[in-house]
Amino acid sequence: PTWVRGLAAALWAAVERPQLRGIYHWTDAGVCSWYDFAVAICEDACAAGLLDKPVKIRPIPGTDYPTPARRPAYSVLDKTSSWRDLELEGVHWRQQLRLMLQEYKGIIND
């Protein structure tokens, strides 16, 4: 997962380095499945007071969610060169999720 704040910082770092060439990939730090992400959203939204009670989230195998494109069973984007060349290190996605939910809570409570 990637919060737009982290992506914006990476894009700004790229703009400040006109000598960079090639393709760069960016995500926040850490790895998770869509199921892990959904569970984290539920947990952190409950902790932030955005949900009254936890929602049951049921994992499904990728085979139960067909897509037109063939997908590998497991793949993780390697952003090592991006972090090195942009002189940035991604913040863990779970920390970014908590920050985003707190910001969202502030917006809806205004």
pTM exceeds 0.85, yes or no: yes
First-residue to last-residue Cα distance in the chain: 27
Q: What is the 3 state secondary structure string of 9-58? A: HHHHHHHCCCCCCCCCCCCCECCCCHHHHHHHHHHHHHHCCCCCCCCCCC
Res 83 pLDDT > 90: yes
31-80 residue pLDDT tens:
999 999 999 999 999 999 999 999 999 999 888 888 898 888 888 899 99
Cα–Cα distances (Å) from 76 to 28, 62, 71, 90, in that order, read: 12, 15, 12, 15
